[in-house]
Amino acid sequence: MVIEWTASQKQRLREIGIAAATEQTFASVEEREEAFKTITSEHLAKHRKEIRQMLDYPERHPLPQIESLVAQALTDNGFIEVRTPSIISRSALEKMGIDRNHPLHEQVFWLDDKRCLRPMLAPNLYFMMRHMYRYSKGPLRLFEVGSCFRKESKGSNHLEEFTMLNLVEMAPANDPSEQLKLHIKTIMDAVGLDYELVECESDVYVKTLDVEVKGIEVASGAVGPHKLDPAHGITQSWAGVGFGLERLSMLKYGMDNIKKSGRSLIYLRGVRLDI
């Protein structure tokens, strides 16, 4: 007879970050109980050691470390950083094609009938593109790092509050598609992750060039002119891409759950605090 973990034991193993152990089986209940005691004791000791190391050797959180890496790489390549509000208008979202009938509309955190927490950085970046380009004598390169909000917290790769990096080069001197690949490489080289490029379909941008690491999407890019451009007063070509920084952090530091890499009251630098 094959003995498995009890439901409460499986839950406890997931809580302390060793979900892989839940597939283990045993020859007897006694063997299972002894294994559970040993595994949890060893893992809790490891957690306590990691917490003490954090206290003894302070470091910045992995998420701002990633932010610093990518921001420096972009400014070194002629990009200007912008910072825009997290609260946007319904009209700004509708310019992105997201009206009351769009699937993404139900994922938006609405503050009232006219305002919401931005689900993406693109609406504000479009605004900055239009105004900044008037002063530009050549290609305009902009980027922003900021929080976005969507009602999609289910799964190990989703958060309701997450950090995006969006970059765009407006009126590039070279082929926008090639510039897009170049900028993707700049970010991924800065983070130090190998990646693959995959062509996909999008609810907003129709066709995208996605960046995947070990089968997990970490970014989605597109080029213009695009059908969304006229609503924003944009007539120039462009190349842009948005990265999820928690996913980059999760993969760079070998975490098994995105909740360990984001803003959290439960995890700090991948270590669970309430165990």
Name the one residue in this structure whose structure tokens are 């970014």: 219
Do 70 and 53 fall into the same domain?
no
What pLDDT is recorded for position 83? 97
Do 163 and 49 fall into the same domain?
no
Q: Do 50 and 42 form a contact (C-beta atoms < 8 A)?
A: no
- Regarding beta strands 271-272 and 25-26, do their DSSP bridges make them parallel or antiparallel, or are they unpaired? unpaired
Compute the distance between CA of residue 203 and CA of residue 50 in angstroms, rounded to an integer: 42
Is the pLDDT score of 256 beyond 60? yes
Q: What is the pLDDT of residues 22-74, one digit of tens each?
A: 788 898 999 999 999 999 999 889 889 999 999 999 999 999 999 999 999 99
Do 51 and 91 fall into the same domain?
no
Which carries the bigger pLDDT value, residue 188 or residue 2? 188
- Regarding beta strands 80-81 and 140-149, do their DSSP bridges make them parallel or antiparallel, or are they unpaired? parallel
Token output for 248: 């980059």
Residue 12 included in any domain: yes
Do 53 and 72 fall into the same domain?
no
Cα 39-43-48 angle, rounded to 5 deg: 150
Q: What is the pLDDT of residues 108-146, one digit of tens each?
A: 999 999 999 999 999 999 999 999 999 988 899 999 999
Residue 274 included in any domain: no
Q: Which domain holds residue 29?
A: 3-58
**Total number of domains in the chain:** 2
Q: What is the pLDDT of residues 145-190, one digit of tens each?
A: 999 999 975 655 679 999 999 999 999 999 999 999 999 999 999 9
Do 161 and 202 fall into the same domain?
yes
Among 33, 58, 83, give the residue marking a domain's end. Answer: 58
Please name the amino acid found at residue 268. L
Do 125 and 49 fall into the same domain?
no
Q: In 3D, which of 142, 188, 211, 163 has the Cα closest to residue 62? A: 163
Q: In 3D, which of 255, 241, 142 has the Cα closest to residue 200? A: 241
Is the pLDDT score of 90 beyond 80? yes
Do 95 and 40 fall into the same domain?
no
Among 58, 81, 97, give the residue marking a domain's end. Answer: 58
Residue 34 burial (CB count, 10 A): 12
